Amino acid sequence: TIVSCNIMLELSVFIVSFVVTVHCDNLIMVQPIWRHGDRSPTTTFPNDPNQESAWPLGWGQLTPIGMDQQVSLGNALYEEYVVKNKFLSTSLSFNEMYIRSTDVNRTLISAYCNLIGMYYNRTKAVVDEDYPAHPRWPPYLVPFPVHTISKDRDYIGDPLAPDCPRRDWLLEMSLRAPEFVKLGDDNQKFLKELSDICGETIDLIKLWDIRDVILIEKLHNKSTVINDTMYAQIAVIDDQVENFEDGLGLSPVDGIDFAIEVPKVKGGGILWSILDHFDLKLFCLESNNSVMPQCRWMNSLKYFAYSAHDTTLTALMAAMGAKQKIIPFGYPTYAACLVFELWNTTSGPAIRVLFRRNYTADFEEVTHFINGCVNLSSNKCPYQRMHQSAETFYPGDVETLCKDVTSTSTDMRHQSTTAYPQIPTTSGAPLIFQSAAFSAFITVLLLRGI
């Protein structure tokens, strides 16, 4: 928009004209990844009075509390990206949004609940245009697809679901690390006592199952055989185990750098899925590329969401070098959410990362915790810097990587999983365009003799 003001006066004046150009950052794409909401236990121990019959929906199912948590998260995402940023449309758009879930009931239903929180009854949908006139149909409910892939092939959404010999081999090797050995030795007596109470052998790896069951039973006001003191001790030990399982805080064994190799095989898939989408978005925004087949879907896409698990989020954080900075110990709580934003700025593409710790928390900035993004004055990180730092954790074809149970270190960067070039390395002017730029011609009249 150009504004020009010229005032003609019958006075002697000096007329000074200059141009003020204001460049604003422009949001290009958003990728949230959340943990499902509250669920029933996935299993329990023999001496637990609460077996599967105690849970109306069965093992591992999303509860009404979990549904409510995801509706709250969806509402927060709507407020952030529709109301505040005015980025997404005010009503559901099949072209703007894509939702992917792991092939698990609780994550699939979480995704639907999240969509309800975002868009249900926000704007009046039109009967027989947006939804059917059938008397049994909920008014104004417009269904939206949630996509998935079978567990045995999902190396992106669930780091524990597919068969992965390398992941299991790395865990076995990590158990030999002095930190893991010491933790087991220091708590041998406690683990024996816990095993007697539970009616089965409990080791460090099995400890999470017990912690999970007791936490859920306490949240749902059910009786437990574990007292609060013992539960607190379980939590302290398991917090350390969970970091070890993500490759963090361990000394090398036989030359294996667990802080690289474990996040690469567990979190590299989801990290590079996010980056691949951003790479393609930037590629397709170049005018010469927008007509290419791979850009037909991406041109209008603004929002790609993942409905996943606590282990997905921690593996992703570990692959960004940020897990212990964002969550020093343990796993994310129900409905926790990481959001990756891609921006076009006056200095080129940049990334911003937000974290919502639970279903009632506000979004907080965590960009400065990511490898390559520390000590920045801005709340956005140059995309190229983050991209280069992530190359250490590039898994290539994760299924192929998973078959390697002999290499103490791997470098998969020679592989390429994309059919389009990586982001340009040029610096200076914005890669795509000067967003929301406007110029105002201001005529300043310095009057003399008045």
Q: Which residues are catalytic?
A: 36, 310
The closest of 191, 193, 199, 195 to 48, measured between CA atoms, is 199
Using alpha carbons, list the distances in angstroms from residue 70 to 144, 157, 219: 16, 18, 17
Residue type, 431: L
Tokens representing residue 300 in the block = 């209008």
Element (DSSP H or E) covering residue 212: helix 207-219
Side chain identity at residue 215, one-letter code: L
Token pair listed for 450:
């008045």
CA 365 to chain CA centroid, Å, is 13
Among 370, 417, 426, smallest CA distance to 396 is for 417
Task: Give the span between the Cα atoms of 15 and 6, in whole angstroms.
Answer: 9
Determine contact, residues 403/168, Cβ cutoff 8 Å: no
Distance CA 46, CA 43 (A): 10
What single letter denotes the amino acid at residue 432?
A: I
Cβ neighbour number for residue 184 with a 10 Å cutoff:
16
Bridge partners of residue 31, in order along the sequence: 340
Do 338 and 326 meet the contact criterion of CB atoms below 8 Å apart?
no
- Max distance between CA atoms of the chain, in angstroms, equals 100
Q: Are 275 and 417 in contact (CB under 8 A)?
A: no
Find the DSSP H helices in 359-408.
383-390, 398-402
Distance CA 317, CA 338 (A): 9
Element spanning 99, H or E: strand 97-102
Cβ distance 110 to 62 under 8 Å?
A: yes
